[in-house]
Amino acid sequence: MPTHSVDVTPSESVEDPETSCIVPKTEFDISKLPERPIHLSTDRDMVRAHSLSAAAFADLGCLSPQMSSRTGNISKLDHSDGGLPPVPVNMSDPDTTSSAVGHETSPMMSEAWEALKRAKLHFRGEAVGTLAAMDSSEEKLNYDQVFVRDFVPSALAFLMHNEPDIVKNFLLKTLRLQSSEKRIDRFQLGEGVMPASFKVIHDPLRNSETLTADFGESAIGRVAPIDSGFWWIILLRAYTKSTGDNSLADMPECQKGMRLILSLCLSEGFDTFPTLLCADGCCMIDRRMGVYGYPIEIQALFFMALRCAHVLLKRDAEGKECVHRIEKRLIALKYHMREYFWLDFKQLNDIYRYKTEEYSHTAVNKFNVIPDSLPDWIFDFMPTRGGYFIGNVGPSKMDFRWFCLGNCVAILASLASPIQSNAIMDLIEARWEELVGEMPLKACYPAIEGHEWKILTGCDPKNTRWSYHNGGSWPVLIWLLTAACIKTKRHHIAEKAIKLIEERLSRDGWPEYYDGKTGRYIGKQARKKQTWSIAGYLVAKKLLEDDSNLSMIALEGDIPMESTMKRSTSCSSFFSASRSKNLLGF
């Protein structure tokens, strides 16, 4: 089994194991980067800087033998993403005691900030991420690593707290690991795959530190980290939006990294849908839970990553081609999700009355869903006012379960229309006891049990009913709910949920998740001092304190289409029908 690592010794020069190129230590040292983003003063409030010293990023110059060093002669265009202006950055010293606490007076906030700082992982003296958990009472397993998806709320907390350096370091290190050889058994993974996690290995004898990545070959069940690449692009856009500094995203290495990630998703194949076909355990639901197929979480993250990349990619020769493909996919994906994944009272009634075995393009029941397969619980669960994106749609398959992360991201990315976004909020209010309960928030609802649990989970003892991902409650999701509430102008929902969290989360030791139908009990295998539980609370509070923080993680409206698309006769009729339903909004 190969080790995906970057070995660094404090000597005069460093040999890159992937490229065998020698780089002087002074050039390789990421500490030589500017401590703060470059800002230019013009008539506008904030103008993005467009360059960084090449020497400062010399360690990225040998990311892989195929990595291009050409910057290109086309300058960055000002691509509007429909969001708010960049969040002004206060350049106060983040390491001072006053900055650690800020203006917050809440003891819980102060405790959370200190816990988040203690979770920092350092590589060669630079903070490069946060550990998954700091619970010394339990076996570490892989909780002593930095997970890409777990670090996102930590990164947002640091950005909102005017500490962007750790986020920049994280983005660069994971980008470097992307270029390493990725092999599981005798199979080589795609060049664009991002790691699920990484850790620092200390060798006191050699006086060296090695950055080692896991691309799924060590994960329980060998699950694929499909969401890692999407989160990386989303976080790169958040960093750019927060700091107003575009120089990091403009780097040739970052540009290529984005294109490699998207090439895995936009390549032509046998697909008949614009959604991504995925295996079980490919996202936050990282164990077998019956999400194989086209899970809502991946589709929402995919859509958001496409929109973020559309803003960040340069319009040079390579970038233009990628942007063209992004735009075509965005149109098709938005239509598909709004048309086939959306469920409200009317749509449920229509499915209940579906005829089956329909043939030709005029079929109403396009996926040949058998009405008798509808679960009993859905009829009582669906309110007359409200709706949501269901968990999965495929041939003769509709997974009606509610997945919190996918629906919240759909709101933030504007995958959901304004009407649908408010309907999701209506559903949360109408089904508060089921989806929020005593501890926000249910990752998935309802729990599966009995024979269905045996079949879908393989009798997984960790995912018993109302536990872990099978109906367990995850405090980290509070930041996503809060962001969605602010975007839909439903602040009171977030305030009510945060109040529930403040009653117990700190007192219980910041657990990873809670068990029980209402989330009353600390999870049977939950780690304490879980970093993303801490960070999720901090981000939620910072969002409520200052709505402008939303701009780094939300995308407004629809993006302008730059390319002229040629449509076939069938495609033209397809879009005529969609316009009549007013679903696309372009």
- The DSSP line for 447-495 is ---HHHHHHHHSS-STT-TTBTTBT-B-GGGHHHHHHHHHHTT-HHHHH
* Cβ contacts of 226 within 8 Å, gap of 6 or more: 276, 278, 282, 283, 298
Q: Is the pLDDT score of 376 beyond 90?
A: yes
What mean pLDDT comes out for the span 554-558? 87
Most confident among 34-43, 133-142, 388-397 (mean pLDDT): 388-397
What is the average per-residue pLDDT within 155-165?
98
Share of the chain above pLDDT 70, in %: 77
- What global pTM score does this model have? 0.81
Using the predicted structure, report yes or no on whether residue 574 has a pLDDT greater than 70: no
Tokens of 479: 């930041």
- Whether pLDDT at 520 is above 70: yes
Give the phi and the psi of residue 418 in degrees, each rounded to 5.
-55, -40
Q: Please count the residues of the chain.
A: 586
Residue 14 is predicted with a pLDDT of: 35
Of 175-184, 338-347, 494-503, the least confident: 175-184
pLDDT at residue 470 tops 80: yes
**Span 314-323, pLDDT tens digits:** 999 888 999 9
397 vs 2: which has the higher pLDDT: 397
Query: Is it true that the peptide bond before 427 is cis, omega within 30 degrees of 0?
Result: no
Average pLDDT over residues 85-112: 58
- For residue 183, the model assigns a pLDDT of 80
Confidence of residue 358 (pLDDT cuts 50, 70, 90): confident
Query: Which two three-digit tokens encode residue 478?
Result: 């509070």
Specify the pLDDT at position 41: 40
pLDDT at 20 over 70: no
Confidence of residue 77 (pLDDT cuts 50, 70, 90): very low
**Average pLDDT for residues 25-49, to the nearest whole number?**
39
Q: By the 8 A CB rule, do 278 and 226 touch? A: yes
Give the phi and the psi of residue 472 in degrees, each rounded to 5: -75, 165
Average pLDDT score over residue span 296-304: 98
Residue 376: partners with Cβ closer than 8 Å, 6 or more residues away: none
What is the arithmetic mean of pLDDT over 346-358? Answer: 94
pLDDT exceeds 70 at position 549: yes
- pLDDT exceeds 60 at position 17: no
Is residue 298 within 8 Å of residue 226, measured between CB atoms? yes
41/39 Cα distance (integer angstroms):
7
Q: Which of 433, 443, 432 lies closest to 480 in space, CA to CA?
A: 443
Question: Is residue 200 exposed (0-12), middle (13-18) or buried (19+ Cβ within 10 Å)?
Answer: buried
- The rounded mean pLDDT for the chain is 83
Over residues 449-464, mean pLDDT = 95
Predicted pLDDT of residue 105: 64
Measured at the alpha carbon of residue 288, what is the angle toward residues 304 and 282, in degrees to the nearest 5?
25
Would you state the pLDDT for residue 97?
A: 35
Asked whether 434 and 381 are in contact (CB, 8 A), the reply is: yes
Q: Does the structure show a pLDDT above 90 at 514?
A: yes
Q: Is pLDDT above 80 for 32?
A: no
Residue 450 dihedral angles phi and psi, to the nearest 5°: 65, -140
Closest CA to 57 of 228, 148, 146, 171: 171
Q: Does pLDDT of 293 surpass 70?
A: yes
